[in-house]
Amino acid sequence: MRIGRTILTLAVVVVTAAPAEATLLTTIPAPTRDGRARLVIHAAGDVNLDPGFTPTLAAGDYGLPWSGMEGLFLRDDLTIVNLECDPSERGTLLSTKPFSFRCPPAALLPMHLAGIDVVSLGNNHSGDYGTAGLLDGRDNTAAAGLNPVGAGESLAAANQAALLQVEGWTIAVLGFSAASGIAYDWPYTAEDYANLRSRWYATASGPGVAPATVANMTAAVAAAREQADLVVVMLHQGVDNETGLPFPNEVERAHALIDAGADVVFAHHHHRLLPLETYRNRPIFYGLGNFVWPRTEPIRDITAVAEVVVSPDGTLTARLIPAIILTSGRPVLVGIPDYQVRSDRALIR
């Protein structure tokens, strides 16, 4: 496993057979204190460990989804995914959505052992089995060492960042959702997005997921910025996008996050890859696509791992590492990853 990490608090893309080139972003202000090493951060999109949805998991081998990563997430410094199921055996199915998902708590430890550090529950499936399932799922992920974000017993808890200290850096990870719990027909309407109509959104005194309103997100990012050197946001937004490009309201949210102090935005929910943008010298991954998911059709089976490398002087590089869902529930890297941009510890086994 990786070393040098202390958890402080739970507080159109073209994929080829060769690894994608890193996109160099301009230098951000130099670090204000010594002792910071290079960081390698990875993120992936929708992870669904429901054996009823992904039949290859019915035998209970929850290490299978991560076996095609070649240990990539063990060689980096931080790995984040969106957990697109309720990881609980409690609660009652409440959703009127076409699909509802839950995954057994037994699936969580293999995620941790594969190198996953943070999971976002800020999505439209973590509450499929009601408040009891959502809160129990949050507890289960925390117990497995997965540092959940984006859901909690109140709005303050749902907005709370996971703060991690890695190689001299303090990193805050936040999770938000713009799609949670809407009883939907495709596509969502503008009114749905404007009003965020959902019984799942957390309130000042009630449990739920963190809403992706600009006001809520920017306030949480600003608070995290005061505690951390780097702020990373997981953002569940958009629709089953057929355009291959983010819609204007998705761009608005992502830009607002960067304006508020976020350094990286990882978005998901589209079930296909969307572009990587540089905005104010910060990377925005507009759609990370399916990851641990059944095979469906080629455009949705193509996926990627998002990578951001932070140099000791604060220089950022960002790229998408091509992958494909080769068999249901098992993404596989395409080609050989460029280990030279990985953590130095990648070569120390």
- Using CB atoms within 10 Å of the CB of residue 165, give its burial: 0 to 12 exposed, 13 to 18 middle, 19+ buried: middle
CB 110 within 8 A of CB 139: no
Looking at per-residue confidence, does 76 or 16 come out higher?
Answer: 76
pLDDT in tens, 150-174: 999 999 999 999 999 999 999 999 9
Give the list of residues 6+ apart from residue 128 with CB closer than 8 angstroms, or none.
85, 86, 93, 94, 95, 97, 100, 101, 102
Question: Would you tell me how many other CB atoms lie within 10 Å of the CB of residue 299?
Answer: 12
State yes or no: pLDDT of 1 exceeds 70: no
Highest mean pLDDT among 183-187, 199-203, 234-238, 311-315 belongs to 234-238
Given this structure, which CATH class describes domain 5-347?
Answer: alpha beta
| CA pair distance 291, 289, nearest whole angstrom | 6
Give the list of residues 6+ apart from residue 190 with CB closer than 8 angstroms, or none.
none
pLDDT confidence of residue 203: 87
For the chain, what are the domain ranges? 5-347
State yes or no: pLDDT of 292 exceeds 50: yes
pLDDT confidence of residue 98: 73
State yes or no: pLDDT of 344 exceeds 80: no
pTM confidence score: 0.85
Looking at per-residue confidence, does 337 or 135 come out higher?
Answer: 135
Q: What is the mean pLDDT of residues 203-226?
A: 94
pLDDT confidence of residue 99: 84
pLDDT in tens, 26-36: 333 434 446 78
**302-320 b/e (C-beta count within 10 Å ≥ 16 → b):** bbbbbbbbbebebbbbbbb
pLDDT confidence of residue 244: 84
State yes or no: pLDDT of 265 exceeds 80: yes
State yes or no: pLDDT of 204 exceeds 80: yes
pLDDT band at 189 (very low <50, low <70, confident <90, very high): low
Secondary structure in 3-state letters for 90-144: CCCCCCCCCCCCECCHHHHHHHHHCCCCEEECCCCCCCCCHHHHHHHHHHHHHHC
Lowest mean pLDDT: which of 16-25, 213-222, 258-267?
16-25
pLDDT band at 148 (very low <50, low <70, confident <90, very high): very high
pLDDT in tens, 112-145: 999 999 999 999 899 889 899 999 999 999 999 9
